[in-house]
Amino acid sequence: MNLERVALVSFHACPLAALGEGKAGGMNLHVRQLARSLGNLGVEVDIFTREHPEPHGIAQEISEKARVIHLPAGDLDKPLEELYDSLPEFQSRVLAYQGVNRLEYQAVHSHYWLSGWAGQRLASTWRVPHIITFHTLALVKMNSRAGETEPVQRQETERELMQAVTRIVAYSPHERNAMARLYGADPKKVVLIPCGVDLDTFRPLDRENARKEIGLDDAKSLLFVGRIEPLKGLELLIRATSELGGGAKVRLLVVGGVLDGDPELDRMRRLAGELGIEGSVDFVGRVDHEELPLYYNAADVCVVPSFYESFGLAALESMACGTPVVATRVGGLSTIVEHGRSGYLKPWRCPDAFAGSLEVILSSRRLQQSMGRSARRRAEGMSWDAVAAQVAEVYESNFPTGPR
Ligand code: UDP
Protein backbone atom coordinates (compact mmCIF):
# COMPACT_ATOMS: atom_id res chain seq x y z
CA MET A 1 0.00 0.00 0.00
CA ASN A 2 1.27 3.48 -0.89
CA LEU A 3 -0.68 5.10 1.87
CA GLU A 4 1.62 6.33 4.65
CA ARG A 5 0.02 9.13 6.63
CA VAL A 6 -3.44 10.68 6.71
CA ALA A 7 -5.14 13.42 8.72
CA LEU A 8 -8.61 12.87 10.15
CA VAL A 9 -10.39 16.05 11.19
CA SER A 10 -12.90 15.67 13.98
CA PHE A 11 -13.21 19.22 15.19
CA HIS A 12 -15.79 18.89 17.97
CA ALA A 13 -16.11 15.13 18.42
CA CYS A 14 -13.06 13.98 20.37
CA PRO A 15 -12.52 10.26 19.82
CA LEU A 16 -11.56 9.91 23.48
CA ALA A 17 -14.84 11.36 24.84
CA ALA A 18 -17.08 9.28 27.11
CA LEU A 19 -19.90 8.05 24.87
CA GLY A 20 -23.62 8.29 25.50
CA GLU A 21 -23.61 11.67 27.24
CA GLY A 22 -24.34 15.10 25.76
CA LYS A 23 -23.38 15.04 22.09
CA ALA A 24 -20.80 12.23 22.28
CA GLY A 25 -21.88 9.04 20.53
CA GLY A 26 -21.45 7.18 17.29
CA MET A 27 -19.33 9.79 15.51
CA ASN A 28 -16.69 9.86 18.26
CA LEU A 29 -16.53 6.07 18.23
CA HIS A 30 -16.41 5.91 14.44
CA VAL A 31 -13.37 8.20 14.28
CA ARG A 32 -11.59 6.26 17.03
CA GLN A 33 -12.18 2.84 15.47
CA LEU A 34 -11.48 3.95 11.92
CA ALA A 35 -8.15 5.43 13.02
CA ARG A 36 -7.16 2.28 14.92
CA SER A 37 -8.05 0.02 12.00
CA LEU A 38 -6.26 2.25 9.48
CA GLY A 39 -3.30 1.92 11.84
CA ASN A 40 -3.62 -1.89 11.61
CA LEU A 41 -3.16 -1.50 7.87
CA GLY A 42 0.14 0.27 8.53
CA VAL A 43 -1.12 3.83 7.97
CA GLU A 44 -0.03 6.61 10.37
CA VAL A 45 -3.12 8.51 11.46
CA ASP A 46 -3.34 11.92 13.13
CA ILE A 47 -6.79 12.93 14.35
CA PHE A 48 -7.12 16.67 14.82
CA THR A 49 -9.71 17.72 17.36
CA ARG A 50 -10.27 20.83 19.45
CA GLU A 51 -9.05 21.06 23.00
CA HIS A 52 -11.87 20.49 25.48
CA PRO A 53 -12.30 20.61 29.27
CA GLU A 54 -11.35 16.94 29.95
CA PRO A 55 -7.61 16.81 30.51
CA HIS A 56 -5.67 15.13 27.69
CA GLY A 57 -2.16 15.73 26.42
CA ILE A 58 -1.72 17.63 23.15
CA ALA A 59 -0.82 14.47 21.26
CA GLN A 60 -2.25 11.29 22.72
CA GLU A 61 -1.68 7.86 21.22
CA ILE A 62 -4.73 5.64 20.83
CA SER A 63 -2.84 2.81 19.18
CA GLU A 64 0.62 2.16 17.82
CA LYS A 65 -0.01 4.17 14.66
CA ALA A 66 -2.88 6.48 15.58
CA ARG A 67 -2.93 9.54 17.81
CA VAL A 68 -5.29 12.33 18.74
CA ILE A 69 -3.98 15.89 18.55
CA HIS A 70 -5.87 18.40 20.70
CA LEU A 71 -5.50 22.00 19.56
CA PRO A 72 -6.99 25.10 21.18
CA ALA A 73 -9.87 26.74 19.31
CA GLY A 74 -12.19 29.06 21.19
CA ASP A 75 -13.24 28.86 24.85
CA LEU A 76 -12.94 25.35 26.22
CA ASP A 77 -16.59 25.01 27.15
CA LYS A 78 -18.13 26.77 24.15
CA PRO A 79 -21.29 24.88 23.12
CA LEU A 80 -21.45 23.14 19.74
CA GLU A 81 -23.88 25.75 18.37
CA GLU A 82 -21.26 28.48 18.77
CA LEU A 83 -18.21 26.67 17.45
CA TYR A 84 -18.45 27.82 13.83
CA ASP A 85 -16.62 31.06 14.66
CA SER A 86 -13.64 29.13 16.04
CA LEU A 87 -12.98 27.24 12.81
CA PRO A 88 -10.43 29.67 11.31
CA GLU A 89 -8.39 29.53 14.51
CA PHE A 90 -8.53 25.73 14.47
CA GLN A 91 -7.48 25.57 10.84
CA SER A 92 -4.45 27.77 11.43
CA ARG A 93 -3.46 25.75 14.51
CA VAL A 94 -3.53 22.55 12.46
CA LEU A 95 -1.40 24.16 9.76
CA ALA A 96 1.08 25.41 12.36
CA TYR A 97 1.27 21.97 14.01
CA GLN A 98 1.81 20.25 10.68
CA GLY A 99 4.44 22.80 9.65
CA VAL A 100 6.43 22.71 12.89
CA ASN A 101 6.40 18.91 12.97
CA ARG A 102 7.04 18.60 9.19
CA LEU A 103 4.21 16.18 8.71
CA GLU A 104 3.15 15.22 5.23
CA TYR A 105 -0.38 13.95 4.78
CA GLN A 106 -1.65 12.16 1.68
CA ALA A 107 -5.34 12.69 2.36
CA VAL A 108 -7.65 14.60 4.68
CA HIS A 109 -10.81 12.89 5.94
CA SER A 110 -13.28 15.18 7.72
CA HIS A 111 -16.10 14.10 9.99
CA TYR A 112 -19.22 16.33 10.22
CA TRP A 113 -19.79 19.64 8.47
CA LEU A 114 -17.77 21.77 10.90
CA SER A 115 -14.69 19.61 10.36
CA GLY A 116 -15.42 19.72 6.64
CA TRP A 117 -15.09 23.52 6.64
CA ALA A 118 -11.55 23.25 8.05
CA GLY A 119 -10.69 20.03 6.19
CA GLN A 120 -11.50 21.56 2.82
CA ARG A 121 -9.06 24.40 3.41
CA LEU A 122 -6.36 22.12 4.81
CA ALA A 123 -6.63 19.69 1.89
CA SER A 124 -6.43 22.48 -0.64
CA THR A 125 -3.35 23.99 1.09
CA TRP A 126 -1.67 20.58 1.15
CA ARG A 127 -3.00 19.73 -2.34
CA VAL A 128 -4.33 16.36 -1.32
CA PRO A 129 -7.77 14.73 -1.70
CA HIS A 130 -10.48 15.74 0.75
CA ILE A 131 -12.88 13.00 1.80
CA ILE A 132 -15.85 13.73 4.01
CA THR A 133 -18.26 11.71 6.10
CA PHE A 134 -21.13 13.95 7.18
CA HIS A 135 -22.54 11.56 9.84
CA THR A 136 -25.76 13.59 9.89
CA LEU A 137 -27.17 16.22 7.53
CA ALA A 138 -29.16 19.29 8.52
CA LEU A 139 -31.90 18.86 5.93
CA VAL A 140 -32.35 15.16 6.62
CA LYS A 141 -32.66 15.79 10.37
CA MET A 142 -35.13 18.60 9.81
CA ASN A 143 -37.25 16.47 7.50
CA SER A 144 -37.27 13.58 9.97
CA ARG A 145 -38.92 15.24 12.96
CA ALA A 146 -40.98 18.37 13.33
CA GLY A 147 -39.20 20.63 15.80
CA GLU A 148 -35.63 19.85 14.68
CA THR A 149 -33.86 23.08 13.79
CA GLU A 150 -30.40 23.61 12.33
CA PRO A 151 -28.56 26.83 11.45
CA VAL A 152 -28.81 28.00 7.83
CA GLN A 153 -25.01 28.21 7.93
CA ARG A 154 -24.89 24.44 8.32
CA GLN A 155 -27.09 23.77 5.30
CA GLU A 156 -25.07 26.17 3.18
CA THR A 157 -21.74 24.71 4.24
CA GLU A 158 -22.99 21.16 3.62
CA ARG A 159 -24.14 22.18 0.13
CA GLU A 160 -20.80 23.82 -0.66
CA LEU A 161 -18.82 20.88 0.66
CA MET A 162 -20.77 18.40 -1.48
CA GLN A 163 -19.56 20.31 -4.53
CA ALA A 164 -16.01 20.96 -3.33
CA VAL A 165 -14.79 17.70 -1.76
CA THR A 166 -13.06 14.92 -3.66
CA ARG A 167 -15.26 12.11 -2.31
CA ILE A 168 -18.16 11.70 0.09
CA VAL A 169 -18.48 8.58 2.21
CA ALA A 170 -22.14 7.73 2.94
CA TYR A 171 -23.49 4.86 5.01
CA SER A 172 -26.50 3.86 2.98
CA PRO A 173 -28.25 4.33 -0.36
CA HIS A 174 -30.83 6.37 1.56
CA GLU A 175 -28.17 8.87 2.59
CA ARG A 176 -26.74 9.05 -0.93
CA ASN A 177 -30.19 9.70 -2.39
CA ALA A 178 -30.83 12.42 0.18
CA MET A 179 -27.54 14.10 -0.74
CA ALA A 180 -28.48 14.14 -4.40
CA ARG A 181 -32.11 15.16 -3.84
CA LEU A 182 -31.73 17.75 -1.10
CA TYR A 183 -28.26 19.13 -1.82
CA GLY A 184 -27.71 18.50 -5.51
CA ALA A 185 -24.69 16.25 -4.83
CA ASP A 186 -23.35 14.18 -7.68
CA PRO A 187 -24.16 10.56 -6.73
CA LYS A 188 -21.01 9.41 -8.55
CA LYS A 189 -18.95 11.24 -5.95
CA VAL A 190 -20.56 9.27 -3.15
CA VAL A 191 -19.00 6.00 -1.98
CA LEU A 192 -21.10 3.69 0.18
CA ILE A 193 -19.19 2.31 3.18
CA PRO A 194 -21.10 1.26 6.30
CA CYS A 195 -19.89 1.58 9.89
CA GLY A 196 -18.29 -1.34 11.65
CA VAL A 197 -18.36 -3.09 14.99
CA ASP A 198 -15.63 -4.43 17.26
CA LEU A 199 -16.45 -8.13 17.00
CA ASP A 200 -14.16 -9.13 19.88
CA THR A 201 -15.80 -6.77 22.35
CA PHE A 202 -19.34 -7.17 21.08
CA ARG A 203 -19.92 -10.92 21.04
CA PRO A 204 -22.37 -13.43 22.47
CA LEU A 205 -21.75 -14.12 26.17
CA ASP A 206 -23.45 -16.36 28.69
CA ARG A 207 -26.86 -14.75 28.98
CA GLU A 208 -27.60 -15.76 32.57
CA ASN A 209 -24.25 -14.47 33.75
CA ALA A 210 -24.76 -11.19 31.92
CA ARG A 211 -28.19 -10.80 33.54
CA LYS A 212 -26.72 -11.49 36.98
CA GLU A 213 -23.86 -9.04 36.42
CA ILE A 214 -26.24 -6.18 35.71
CA GLY A 215 -28.71 -7.19 38.39
CA LEU A 216 -31.63 -8.25 36.21
CA ASP A 217 -34.26 -10.53 37.71
CA ASP A 218 -36.18 -13.07 35.63
CA ALA A 219 -38.29 -10.45 33.84
CA LYS A 220 -38.18 -10.18 30.05
CA SER A 221 -36.10 -7.18 29.13
CA LEU A 222 -36.01 -4.56 26.43
CA LEU A 223 -32.93 -2.42 25.91
CA PHE A 224 -32.46 1.12 24.60
CA VAL A 225 -28.90 2.40 24.12
CA GLY A 226 -28.26 5.97 23.04
CA ARG A 227 -28.04 9.64 23.78
CA ILE A 228 -31.26 10.94 25.29
CA GLU A 229 -32.64 13.36 22.73
CA PRO A 230 -36.01 13.55 20.97
CA LEU A 231 -34.65 12.34 17.61
CA LYS A 232 -33.84 8.98 19.24
CA GLY A 233 -37.55 8.28 19.75
CA LEU A 234 -37.38 6.97 23.33
CA GLU A 235 -40.86 8.35 23.92
CA LEU A 236 -42.27 5.87 21.42
CA LEU A 237 -40.53 2.97 23.13
CA ILE A 238 -41.88 3.95 26.55
CA ARG A 239 -45.37 4.12 25.07
CA ALA A 240 -44.89 0.76 23.32
CA THR A 241 -43.69 -0.81 26.58
CA SER A 242 -46.84 0.39 28.32
CA GLU A 243 -48.93 -1.33 25.65
CA LEU A 244 -47.30 -4.75 25.91
CA GLY A 245 -49.94 -7.32 26.70
CA GLY A 246 -49.72 -10.94 27.77
CA GLY A 247 -49.32 -10.21 31.47
CA ALA A 248 -45.59 -11.04 31.40
CA LYS A 249 -43.30 -8.88 33.50
CA VAL A 250 -41.23 -6.74 31.11
CA ARG A 251 -38.46 -4.34 32.07
CA LEU A 252 -37.14 -1.57 29.88
CA LEU A 253 -33.49 -0.64 30.44
CA VAL A 254 -32.59 2.81 29.17
CA VAL A 255 -28.83 3.16 28.79
CA GLY A 256 -27.34 6.59 28.06
CA GLY A 257 -27.71 10.17 29.22
CA VAL A 258 -27.12 12.02 32.45
CA LEU A 259 -29.46 10.99 35.26
CA ASP A 260 -29.63 14.34 37.04
CA GLY A 261 -30.68 17.64 35.55
CA ASP A 262 -31.35 16.59 31.96
CA PRO A 263 -34.77 17.99 30.95
CA GLU A 264 -35.31 15.37 28.22
CA LEU A 265 -34.55 12.48 30.57
CA ASP A 266 -36.85 14.03 33.18
CA ARG A 267 -39.57 14.26 30.53
CA MET A 268 -39.13 10.53 29.82
CA ARG A 269 -39.36 9.72 33.54
CA ARG A 270 -42.55 11.73 33.83
CA LEU A 271 -44.01 9.97 30.77
CA ALA A 272 -43.31 6.55 32.29
CA GLY A 273 -45.04 7.77 35.45
CA GLU A 274 -48.08 9.06 33.56
CA LEU A 275 -48.39 5.70 31.79
CA GLY A 276 -48.13 3.86 35.11
CA ILE A 277 -44.95 1.94 34.22
CA GLU A 278 -42.36 3.88 36.23
CA GLY A 279 -41.57 0.69 38.16
CA SER A 280 -40.70 -1.16 34.93
CA VAL A 281 -38.40 1.42 33.36
CA ASP A 282 -34.81 1.61 34.64
CA PHE A 283 -32.88 4.72 33.66
CA VAL A 284 -29.35 3.39 33.93
CA GLY A 285 -27.45 6.48 32.67
CA ARG A 286 -24.25 6.33 30.68
CA VAL A 287 -22.48 2.97 30.62
CA ASP A 288 -18.82 2.57 29.64
CA HIS A 289 -18.62 1.34 26.09
CA GLU A 290 -16.64 -1.77 27.10
CA GLU A 291 -19.38 -2.71 29.61
CA LEU A 292 -22.16 -2.53 27.08
CA PRO A 293 -21.84 -6.13 25.81
CA LEU A 294 -23.27 -7.23 29.18
CA TYR A 295 -26.40 -5.17 28.56
CA TYR A 296 -26.86 -6.30 24.97
CA ASN A 297 -26.37 -9.93 26.04
CA ALA A 298 -28.72 -9.68 28.99
CA ALA A 299 -31.55 -8.14 26.96
CA ASP A 300 -34.17 -10.11 25.04
CA VAL A 301 -34.53 -7.41 22.40
CA CYS A 302 -32.75 -4.15 21.64
CA VAL A 303 -35.06 -1.42 20.38
CA VAL A 304 -33.95 1.46 18.16
CA PRO A 305 -37.04 3.64 17.67
CA SER A 306 -35.26 6.67 16.16
CA PHE A 307 -36.91 9.18 13.88
CA TYR A 308 -33.69 9.02 11.91
CA GLU A 309 -30.29 7.31 12.09
CA SER A 310 -27.66 7.86 9.44
CA PHE A 311 -26.27 4.50 10.58
CA GLY A 312 -27.29 3.21 14.04
CA LEU A 313 -24.28 1.65 15.77
CA ALA A 314 -26.34 0.48 18.75
CA ALA A 315 -28.32 -1.83 16.44
CA LEU A 316 -25.18 -3.37 14.99
CA GLU A 317 -23.57 -3.80 18.42
CA SER A 318 -26.66 -5.61 19.65
CA MET A 319 -26.65 -7.87 16.61
CA ALA A 320 -22.96 -8.65 17.12
CA CYS A 321 -23.92 -9.82 20.63
CA GLY A 322 -26.59 -12.08 19.16
CA THR A 323 -29.58 -10.06 20.36
CA PRO A 324 -32.39 -9.27 17.89
CA VAL A 325 -33.29 -5.67 17.10
CA VAL A 326 -36.61 -3.96 16.52
CA ALA A 327 -35.97 -0.67 14.77
CA THR A 328 -37.59 2.02 12.71
CA ARG A 329 -37.13 1.49 8.98
CA VAL A 330 -35.10 4.66 8.49
CA GLY A 331 -31.68 5.62 7.15
CA GLY A 332 -28.88 3.20 7.92
CA LEU A 333 -31.03 0.99 10.16
CA SER A 334 -32.79 -0.47 7.14
CA THR A 335 -29.44 -1.61 5.76
CA ILE A 336 -28.32 -3.27 9.02
CA VAL A 337 -31.34 -5.14 10.35
CA GLU A 338 -32.74 -7.81 8.03
CA HIS A 339 -36.49 -7.68 8.55
CA GLY A 340 -37.81 -11.03 9.75
CA ARG A 341 -34.32 -12.53 10.14
CA SER A 342 -32.31 -10.54 12.63
CA GLY A 343 -35.25 -8.56 13.99
CA TYR A 344 -38.02 -6.38 12.65
CA LEU A 345 -38.06 -3.04 10.85
CA LYS A 346 -41.11 -0.89 11.48
CA PRO A 347 -42.20 1.50 8.74
CA TRP A 348 -44.60 3.30 11.10
CA ARG A 349 -43.44 5.12 14.14
CA CYS A 350 -46.42 4.00 16.11
CA PRO A 351 -46.31 2.37 19.58
CA ASP A 352 -48.84 -0.35 18.60
CA ALA A 353 -46.70 -1.52 15.72
CA PHE A 354 -43.59 -1.72 17.91
CA ALA A 355 -45.46 -3.42 20.75
CA GLY A 356 -46.77 -6.04 18.29
CA SER A 357 -43.29 -6.98 17.06
CA LEU A 358 -41.84 -6.95 20.57
CA GLU A 359 -44.55 -9.35 21.75
CA VAL A 360 -43.78 -11.73 18.90
CA ILE A 361 -40.11 -11.97 19.88
CA LEU A 362 -40.69 -11.94 23.64
CA SER A 363 -43.17 -14.79 23.40
CA SER A 364 -40.81 -17.23 21.69
CA ARG A 365 -37.36 -17.98 23.05
CA ARG A 366 -36.73 -20.08 19.94
CA LEU A 367 -37.47 -17.23 17.57
CA GLN A 368 -35.34 -14.94 19.70
CA GLN A 369 -32.43 -17.37 19.54
CA SER A 370 -32.65 -17.97 15.82
CA MET A 371 -32.91 -14.24 15.13
CA GLY A 372 -29.94 -13.72 17.45
CA ARG A 373 -27.86 -16.21 15.46
CA SER A 374 -28.75 -14.51 12.15
CA ALA A 375 -27.95 -11.15 13.70
CA ARG A 376 -24.47 -12.24 14.78
CA ARG A 377 -23.81 -13.76 11.33
CA ARG A 378 -24.79 -10.48 9.69
CA ALA A 379 -22.54 -8.48 12.04
CA GLU A 380 -19.57 -10.77 11.40
CA GLY A 381 -19.20 -9.28 7.93
CA MET A 382 -19.01 -5.76 9.34
CA SER A 383 -15.75 -5.36 11.26
CA TRP A 384 -13.95 -2.02 11.56
CA ASP A 385 -10.94 -3.56 9.80
CA ALA A 386 -13.14 -4.27 6.77
CA VAL A 387 -14.43 -0.69 6.89
CA ALA A 388 -10.90 0.75 7.12
CA ALA A 389 -9.73 -1.30 4.13
CA GLN A 390 -12.52 0.24 2.02
CA VAL A 391 -11.81 3.74 3.29
CA ALA A 392 -8.07 3.38 2.60
CA GLU A 393 -8.95 2.35 -0.93
CA VAL A 394 -10.89 5.61 -1.33
CA TYR A 395 -7.89 7.65 -0.11
CA GLU A 396 -5.49 5.82 -2.42
CA SER A 397 -7.63 5.86 -5.52
CA ASN A 398 -7.91 9.64 -5.23
CA PHE A 399 -4.26 10.50 -4.78
CA PRO A 400 -3.30 13.38 -7.02
CA THR A 401 -1.63 12.06 -10.16
CA GLY A 402 0.48 15.13 -10.99
CA PRO A 403 3.51 16.40 -9.01
CA ARG A 404 2.67 17.94 -5.64
N1 UDP B 1 -22.79 4.39 23.92
C2 UDP B 1 -21.96 4.05 24.98
N3 UDP B 1 -22.45 4.21 26.25
C4 UDP B 1 -23.70 4.69 26.50
C5 UDP B 1 -24.53 5.01 25.40
C6 UDP B 1 -24.06 4.86 24.12
O7 UDP B 1 -20.84 3.59 24.79
O8 UDP B 1 -24.07 4.82 27.66
C9 UDP B 1 -22.28 4.21 22.53
C10 UDP B 1 -22.97 3.07 21.79
O11 UDP B 1 -22.37 1.84 22.16
C12 UDP B 1 -22.73 3.44 20.34
C13 UDP B 1 -22.71 4.97 20.38
O14 UDP B 1 -22.55 5.36 21.75
O15 UDP B 1 -21.50 2.95 19.90
C16 UDP B 1 -23.99 5.55 19.82
O17 UDP B 1 -23.95 5.41 18.45
P18 UDP B 1 -25.29 5.39 17.57
O19 UDP B 1 -24.87 5.25 16.14
O20 UDP B 1 -26.22 4.35 18.08
O21 UDP B 1 -25.95 6.81 17.84
P22 UDP B 1 -25.36 8.30 17.61
O23 UDP B 1 -24.72 8.71 18.88
O24 UDP B 1 -24.37 8.23 16.47
O25 UDP B 1 -26.56 9.11 17.28
Averaged pLDDT, 131-154: 95
pLDDT at residue number 317: 98
Averaged pLDDT, 169-186: 96
- Give the closest residue (by CA) to ligand 1 atom 14: 25
221 contacts: CB under 8 Å, gap ≥ 6? 211, 250, 251, 252, 253, 298, 299, 300
pLDDT at residue number 403: 46
Ligand 1 centre distance from Cα of residue 262 (Å):
17
Q: Which atom of ligand 1 is nearest to the CA of 286?
A: 8
Phi, psi of 35 (to 5 degrees): -60, -45
CA dihedral sign, ordered 196, 198, 204, 210: negative
Q: Which atom of ligand 1 is nearest to the CA of 257?
A: 8
Residue 7 to residue 27: CA distance in whole angstroms = 16
Residue 114 to residue 10: CA distance in whole angstroms = 8
224 contacts: CB under 8 Å, gap ≥ 6? 232, 234, 237, 252, 253, 254, 255, 256, 302, 303, 304, 305
The mean pLDDT of the chain is 95
C-beta neighbour count of 249 within 10 angstroms: 11
Residue 150 to residue 110: CA distance in whole angstroms = 20
**Residues 124, 107 contacting (CB under 8 angstroms):** no
Using most ligand atoms within 8 A of CB, pick from 202, 228, 262, 289 the residue to mutate for ligand 1: 289
Ligand 1 centre distance from Cα of residue 314 (Å):
6
pLDDT at residue number 121: 98
Averaged pLDDT, 279-294: 97
Averaged pLDDT, 278-288: 96
Q: How confident is the model at residue 400 (pLDDT cuts 50, 70, 90)?
A: confident
pLDDT at residue number 371: 98
Ligand 1 centre distance from Cα of residue 26 (Å):
5
Question: In Å, what is the CA distance from 311 to each residue of 81, 136, 225, 361, 387?
Answer: 23, 9, 14, 23, 13
Ligand 1 centre distance from Cα of residue 117 (Å):
25
**Residues 254, 234 contacting (CB under 8 angstroms):** yes
Ligand 1 centre distance from Cα of residue 29 (Å):
8
Ligand 1 centre distance from Cα of residue 351 (Å):
23
Ligand 1 centre distance from Cα of residue 76 (Å):
23
Residue 385 to residue 377: CA distance in whole angstroms = 16
Using most ligand atoms within 8 A of CB, pick from 10, 19, 27, 287 the residue to mutate for ligand 1: 19
Query: Among 62, 61, 44, 40, which residue's Cα sits nearest to residue 4?
Result: 44
Averaged pLDDT, 385-393: 98
The domains found in the chain, sorted by start residue, are 5-196+384-397 (3.40.50.2000), 207-380 (3.40.50.2000)
Using most ligand atoms within 8 A of CB, pick from 112, 171, 292 the residue to mutate for ligand 1: 292
Q: Which atom of ligand 1 is nearest to the CA of 256?
A: 8
Q: Which atom of ligand 1 is nearest to the CA of 314?
A: 20
SS (H, E, C) the chain: CCCCEEEEECCCCCCCCCCCECCECHHHHHHHHHHHHHHHCCCEEEEEEECCCCCCCCEEECCCCEEEEEECCCCCCCCHHHHHHHHHHHHHHHHHHHHHCCCCCCCEEEECHHHHHHHHHHHHHHCCCEEEECCCCHHHHHHHCCCCCCCHHHHHHHHHHHHHCCEEEECCHHHHHHHHHHHCCCHHHEEECCCCECCCCCCCCCHHHHHHHCCCCCCEEEEEECCCCHHHCHHHHHHHHHCCCCCCCEEEEEECCCCCCCHHHHHHHHHHHHCCCHHHEEEEECCCHHHHHHHHHHCCEEEECCCCCCCCHHHHHHHHCCCCEEEECCCCHHHHCCECCCEEEECCCCHHHHHHHHHHHHCCHHHHHHHHHHHHHHHHCCEHHHHHHHHHHHHHHCCCCCCC
Range from 29-43, 54-68, 170-184, 332-346 carrying the lowest mean pLDDT = 54-68
Strand order of the β-sheet with 220-225 is: 281-285, 250-255, 220-225, 301-304, 325-328, 343-346
pLDDT at residue number 399: 84
Q: What residues line ligand 1, using a CB cutoff of 6 Å?
A: 19-20, 25-27, 29, 225-227, 255-256, 286-287, 289, 292, 311-314, 317
Averaged pLDDT, 124-151: 96
Q: How confident is the model at residue 78 (pLDDT cuts 50, 70, 90)?
A: confident
Instruction: List 60's β-bridge partners, or say none.
Output: 68
pLDDT at residue number 247: 58
Report pLDDT digits (tens) over 214-258.
Answer: 999 889 999 999 999 999 999 999 999 999 975 568 999 999 999
pLDDT at residue number 376: 98
pLDDT at residue number 239: 97
Ligand 1 centre distance from Cα of residue 145 (Å):
20
Q: Which atom of ligand 1 is nearest to the CA of 285?
A: 8
Rounded to 5°, angle at Cα 234 from 308 and 132? 30
Q: Which atom of ligand 1 is nearest to the CA of 309?
A: 25
* pLDDT above 90 for 2: no
Residue 44 to residue 104: CA distance in whole angstroms = 11
Ligand 1 centre distance from Cα of residue 34 (Å):
15
* pLDDT above 70 for 168: yes
Report pLDDT digits (tens) over 360-370.
Answer: 999 999 999 99
